[in-house]
């Protein structure tokens, strides 16, 4: 049985999704869950991109023990040095360095000849090998590159010390047969390919990322790259959950597996969705809410008689649990702590107390507190940054009537401790709230996008609001959770503003590495 290594790039390529903006604590929490899922390698970020990125990669590298942590670098010494600063504390430092090899990229983006590209790639790998035990080299836009040039440059970077060669379908251009044949061609024509792993990295522009990745596995790929929930630039990347389950279900055909803990898939999907604000479509394969729903009468009849008539994946396989009552208003702190550990959270005493207080408040208001509710409380508490002073919502009152002008009155405590109260009107309650907040915060704040969905079901379900805001010309995401939709909306907008402030302060601080 072949073991396919899993290279997760949720924290790098996934975070490049439009509108996604994770802070350091959120990245660390996702990294912890990826470790529980069992990924072999996680790409924690692009250390040279900013001080914040470097610090986040460094913190993840210091936190994760059972997965290898890597960072991305362009083919230059400055990027490689930044990656080393972030990753030098790991037991097995690993670098991912890339350079474009297609004629269109070399001509218009790099403005380099093939010889210059080859020399640059070799020099970068040689430089990286002075410090990094493992160097993965990627031929960006490999699928639109000349095959003979690929053979030539791959041969040389292997000589220079590359241990993994990645052949990405950077723009999601190739069909499965074409992509698979590229792997066969490289394995058959690169003379020193023996002992070096080939990796597949596919984008979903034409909807073929998963099919292409499976084709690469059929044709000799030893490592696959992707993200949780298939997030990523443009139309996204290969969904790792799709590959892992496909190899498991069709083990008879592929004769390969990933080694991922499949029952951690749903929890990982939920966490990534919540922290990125990218809601998983109901019809998404493997992790969508409708993945195990059967509407057709014929399907329902068949499933009731024998599940395998229409259900090839069981909910239990990926860790889907019933949304039953798990704790109530009489539950104590010890029971709450045990539940937190059970669903994958390790909280400090301070954060545990904070989360428990929130839980008790919710239990007084809500008839049934479900695991989804507790997951939402714990996620918000664990990833809440307190190292930067923020705007704090103190009170909210909304006046609304069909024949009245909606009016919101809001009080906040500013980062400097000053108490402020303002009121404003709008064409609807949410607009009135946001007009009021824009009067309260210093600087320019504009709402770009607004999304809302419920945590679990029922009329007393928690509301979760995701927003995109532009604050002082910087775009950011924000999220808020509350039993009341309007309170969740206010918290989401203030959270978006605070994230910009936090990010700005981090960038202006000196990062010690």
5-38, pLDDT tens digit by residue? Answer: 999 999 999 999 988 889 899 999 999 999 999 9
Per-residue pLDDT averaged across 153-165, rounded? 98
Q: What is the DSSP code (8-state) at residue 457?
A: S
31 lies in some domain: yes
pLDDT band at 419, cuts 50/70/90?
very high
Is the pLDDT at 327 greater than 70, yes or no?
yes
User: Whole domain around residue 366: which residue ranges?
Assistant: 325-382
Give CA–CA dist 133/90, Å, rounded.
11
Is the pLDDT at 158 greater than 50, yes or no?
yes
316 lies in some domain: no
Q: What is the CATH classification number for the domain harbouring 237?
A: 3.20.20.70
Give CA–CA dist 232/234, Å, rounded.
6
Give CA–CA dist 57/11, Å, rounded.
9
Per-residue pLDDT averaged across 485-502, rounded? 93
Strand partners, 139: 99
- CB atoms near residue 341 (< 10 Å): 11
- Higher-pLDDT residue of 397 and 334 is 397
Among 502, 274, 504, 489, which residue's Cα sits nearest to residue 391?
Answer: 502
Per-residue pLDDT averaged across 335-354, rounded? 88
- Higher-pLDDT residue of 455 and 508 is 455
Whether 347 and 464 map to the same domain: the answer is: no
Which of the listed residues 212, 242, 276 is the one where a domain comes to its end? 276
60 lies in some domain: yes
Which of the listed residues 276, 310, 341 is the one where a domain comes to its end? 276
Whether 119 and 168 map to the same domain: the answer is: yes
Give the Cα-Cα-Cα angle 241, 245, 246 (nearest 5 degrees).
115
Whether 184 and 214 map to the same domain: the answer is: yes
452 lies in some domain: yes
Task: Tell me the percentage of the chain whose pLDDT exceeds 90.
Answer: 74
Whether 7 and 107 map to the same domain: the answer is: yes
> pLDDT tens digits for 363-384?
888 777 888 888 889 988 888 7
> pLDDT tens digits for 272-306?
999 999 999 999 999 998 887 644 454 555 555 66
Whether 61 and 151 map to the same domain: the answer is: yes
Report the pLDDT value the prediction gives residue 293, as an integer from 0 to 100.
Answer: 63
Domain count, the chain: 3
Read off the pTM: 0.89
Q: Is 81 exposed, middle or buried (0-12, 13-18, 19+ CB in 10 A)?
A: middle
Mean residue pLDDT of the chain comes to 91
Q: What is the CATH classification number for the domain harbouring 462?
A: 3.30.160.270
pLDDT band at 321, cuts 50/70/90?
confident
Give CA–CA dist 254/252, Å, rounded.
6
513 lies in some domain: no
Strand partners, 327: 369
211 lies in some domain: yes
446 lies in some domain: yes
Report the pLDDT value the prediction gives residue 307, as an integer from 0 to 100.
Answer: 67
387 lies in some domain: no
Whether 492 and 398 map to the same domain: the answer is: yes
């Amino acid at each position: 049985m072949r073991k396919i290594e899993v290279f997760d790039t949720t924290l790098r390529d996934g975070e490049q999704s439009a509108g996604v903006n994770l802070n350091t604590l959120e990245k660390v929490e996702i990294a912890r869950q990826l470790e529980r899922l069992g990924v072999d390698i996680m790409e924690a970020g692009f250390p040279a991109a900013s001080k914040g990125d470097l610090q986040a990669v460094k913190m993840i590298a210091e936190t994760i023990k059972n997965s290898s942590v890597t960072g991305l670098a362009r083919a230059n010494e400055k990027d490689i040095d930044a990656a080393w600063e972030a990753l030098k504390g790991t037991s097995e430092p690993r670098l991912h360095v890339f350079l474009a090899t297609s004629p269109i990229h070399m001509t218009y983006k790099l403005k380099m000849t093939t010889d210059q590209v080859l020399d640059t790639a070799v020099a970068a790998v040689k430089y990286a090998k002075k410090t990094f035990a493992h160097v993965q080299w990627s031929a960006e836009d490999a699928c639109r590159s000349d095959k003979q040039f690929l053979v030539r440059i791959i041969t040389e970077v292997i000589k220079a010390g590359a241990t993994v060669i990645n052949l990405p379908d950077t723009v999601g251009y190739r069909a499965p047969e074409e992509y698979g044949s590229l792997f066969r061609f490289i394995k058959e024509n690169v003379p020193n390919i023996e002992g070096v792993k080939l990796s597949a990295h596919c984008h979903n522009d034409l909807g073929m990322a998963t099919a292409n990745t499976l084709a690469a596995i059929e044709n000799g790929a030893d490592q696959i790259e992707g993200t949780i929930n298939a997030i990523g630039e443009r139309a996204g990347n290969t969904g790792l959950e799709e590959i892992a389950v496909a190899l498991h279900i069709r083990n008879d055909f592929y004769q390969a597996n990933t080694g991922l803990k499949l029952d951690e898939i749903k929890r990982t999907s939920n966490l990534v969705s919540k922290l990125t604000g990218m809601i998983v479509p109901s019809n998404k394969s493997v992790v969508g809410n409708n993945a195990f729903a059967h509407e057709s009468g014929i399907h329902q009849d068949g499933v009731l008689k024998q599940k395998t008539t229409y259900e090839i994946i069981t909910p239990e396989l990926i860790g889907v649990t019933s949304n039953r009552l798990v704790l109530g208003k009489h539950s104590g702190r010890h029971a709450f702590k045990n539940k937190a550990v059970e669903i994958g959270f390790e909280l400090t005493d301070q954060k545990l107390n904070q989360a428990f207080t929130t839980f008790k408040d919710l239990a007084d208001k809500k008839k049934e507190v479900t695991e989804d509710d507790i997951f939402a409380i714990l996620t918000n508490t664990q990833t809440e940054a307190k190292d930067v002073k923020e705007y704090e919502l103190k009170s909210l009152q909304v006046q609304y009537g069909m024949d009245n002008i909606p009016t919101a009155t809001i009080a906040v405590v500013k980062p400097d401790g000053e108490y402020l109260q303002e009121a404003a009107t709008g064409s609807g309650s949410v607009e009135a709230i946001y007009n009021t907040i824009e009067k309260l915060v210093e600087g320019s704040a504009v709402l770009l996008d607004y999304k809302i969905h419920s945590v679990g079901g029922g009329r007393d379900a928690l509301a979760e609001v995701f927003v995109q805001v532009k604050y002082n010309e910087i775009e950011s995401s924000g999220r808020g959770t509350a039993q009341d939709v309007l309170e969740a909306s206010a918290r989401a907008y203030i959270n978006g503003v605070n994230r910009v402030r936090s990010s700005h302060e981090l960038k202006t601080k000196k990062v010690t590495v």
